[in-house]
């Protein structure tokens, strides 16, 4: 028994060494958010910037605001039904929404100056289930400085803007998924800290 | 901006100033691939007001599309007023910058 105990101690020690080695290896291999922006040709933000708050009605009549999405990683995509380059992105966003939604990803579509009926028809045609906010006067589009579609923003769990994509991207490819997974792995800010920051 | 390199060759620094916040200016600049900086005058609009460029058509909350050419001594040497609905041609400003460049 003693011998077994000693042997087990050694094995445990070896196990810890192996685990530490594995942790060190993963720490070295883990790419930074900045590195992950490059393959997707995404533009990063200077520290201290904050995305404008927005609030709007979705195509199914619910109210949704950015404030209500705190602690989530948020993908905000500006689009319109007439935008040809927007169309191929939509099934990719739907897939991200379904796959990572439970882990804390919120995919939000913000339409540009179209009516609810057109947006609902588009969503039905493409089988979209993530929220689509109506922006009939373009107020949110203007606040975000959007002058071309599609334009997409990534926001971290702490509310900081992470990346900007002007034009379409491959949102289901390995680089995009790796970026989203790294952002989802970031800790959510403490509630006390967030309330002080407000 | 098509003529940016011509201004750059004359040692003219182009700056854009607007009432927008830096976040939306970044989207705008990235969308147009602007090679020069945009400066935010939000929320106080002090610079735009001091140049007399607040837009009455937008309740004095935005800037009018005005252009100023400032020399190396900080003196305004030219002023042009464009409309918000049309692209202002850069030729007159470029011509003035060339003439100013010869004098300095």
pLDDT digits (tens, 9 = 90+) for A28-76: 567 899 999 999 999 999 999 999 999 999 999 999 999 999 999 999 9
**Chain A residue closest in CA terms to B27:** A145
Query: Do the beta carbons of residue A172 and residue A95 sit within 8 Å?
Result: yes
Report residue B22: phi and psi, to 5°.
Answer: -55, -35
Residue A112 reports pLDDT greater than 70 = yes
Torsion-angle region of residue B33: left (phi > 0), alpha (psi -120 to 50) or beta?
left
DSSP at B40: E
- Min Cα distance B7 → chain A (Å) is 25
Query: Can you give the pLDDT of all 104 residues of chain B as single tens digits?
Result: 679 999 999 999 999 999 999 999 999 999 999 999 999 999 999 999 999 999 998 889 999 999 999 999 999 999 999 887 788 999 999 999 999 999 87
Query: Do the beta carbons of residue A173 and residue B54 sit within 8 Å?
Result: no
Report the share of chain A in percent with pLDDT over 70.
81
Q: What contacts B57, CB < 8 A, 6 or more positions away?
A: B84
Cβ of B21 and A45 within 8 Å?
A: no
> What is the value of pTM for the model shown?
0.85
Cβ of A49 and B25 within 8 Å?
A: no
Residue whose token pair is 């002023």: B79
Q: Is the dihedral of CA A60, A101, A72, A80 positive or negative?
A: negative
Residue A4 reports pLDDT greater than 60 = no
Give the pairing of strands A161-166 and A151-155. Answer: antiparallel
ipTM of the complex model: 0.89
Taking only residues 125 to 184 of chain A, the set having a beta carbon closer than 8 angstroms to any beta carbon of chain B reads 142-148, 151, 161, 164, 166
**Chain A residue closest in CA terms to B26:** A145
CA A120 from chain center: how many Å?
Answer: 23
Q: What contacts B27, CB < 8 A, 6 or more positions away?
A: A144, A145, A146, A147, A151, A164, A166
Radius of gyration of chain A (CA): 21
Q: Measured between beta carbons, which residues in chain B are less than 8 angstroms from residue A144?
A: 23-24, 27
**Which residues on chain B place their C-beta less than 8 Å from a C-beta of chain A?**
20-28, 30-32
Cβ of B23 and A144 within 8 Å?
A: yes
Q: Measured between beta carbons, which residues in chain B are less than 8 angstroms from residue A50?
A: 23
User: So what's the pLDDT on residue A1?
Assistant: 37
Angstrom distance (rounded) from CA B78 to CA A150: 38
Angstrom distance (rounded) from CA A49 to CA A35: 20
Q: What contacts A164, CB < 8 A, 6 or more positions away?
A: A42, A43, A44, A45, A151, A152, A153, A154, B26, B27, B30
Cβ of B25 and A145 within 8 Å?
A: yes
Q: What contacts B55, CB < 8 A, 6 or more positions away?
A: B61, B62, B63, B64, B84
Task: Name the H helices within chain B.
Answer: 4-9, 22-32, 46-50, 91-103
- Min Cα distance A24 → chain B (Å) is 37
Ranking A27-31, A141-145, A150-154, B52-56 by mean pLDDT, the lowest is A27-31
CB pairs under 8 A between A and B: 41
Query: Do the beta carbons of residue A140 and residue A134 sit within 8 Å?
Result: no
The SS3 assignment for A46 reads coil
Cβ of B28 and A151 within 8 Å?
A: no
């Amino acid at each position: 028994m003693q011998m077994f105990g000693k042997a087990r101690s050694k094995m445990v020690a070896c196990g810890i060494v192996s685990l530490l080695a594995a942790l060190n290896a993963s720490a070295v291999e883990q790419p930074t958010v900045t590195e992950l922006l490059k393959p997707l040709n995404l533009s990063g933000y200077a520290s201290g910037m904050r995305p404008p708050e927005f609030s709007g009605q979705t195509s199914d009549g619910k109210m949704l605001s950015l404030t209500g999405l705190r602690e989530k990683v948020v993908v905000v995509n500006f689009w319109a039904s007439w935008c040809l380059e927007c169309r191929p992105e939509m099934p990719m966003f739907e897939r991200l929404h379904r796959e990572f939604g439970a882990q804390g990803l919120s995919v939000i579509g913000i339409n540009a100056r179209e009516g609810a009926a057109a947006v609902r028809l588009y969503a039905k045609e493409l089988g979209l289930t993530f929220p689509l906010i109506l922006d009939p006067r373009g107020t949110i589009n203007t606040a975000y400085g959007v002058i071309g579609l599609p334009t997409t923003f990534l926001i971290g769990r702490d509310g900081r803007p992470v990346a900007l994509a002007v034009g379409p991207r491959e949102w289901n490819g390995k680089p995009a998924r790796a970026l989203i997974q790294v952002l989802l792995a970031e800790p959510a800010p403490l509630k006390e800290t967030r309330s002080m920051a407000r | 901006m098509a003529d940016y390199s011509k201004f750059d060759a004359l040692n003219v620094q182009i700056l854009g100033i607007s009432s927008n916040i830096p976040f939306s200016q970044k989207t705008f600049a990235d969308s147009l691939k602007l090679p020069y900086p945009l400066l935010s005058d939000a929320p106080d609009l002090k610079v735009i007001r001091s140049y007399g460029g607040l837009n009455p058509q937008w309740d004095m909350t935005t800037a009018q599309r005005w252009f100023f050419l400032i020399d190396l001594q900080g003196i305004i040497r030219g002023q042009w007023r464009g409309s918000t609905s049309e692209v202002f041609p850069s030729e007159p400003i470029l011509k003035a910058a060339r003439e100013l460049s010869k004098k300095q």
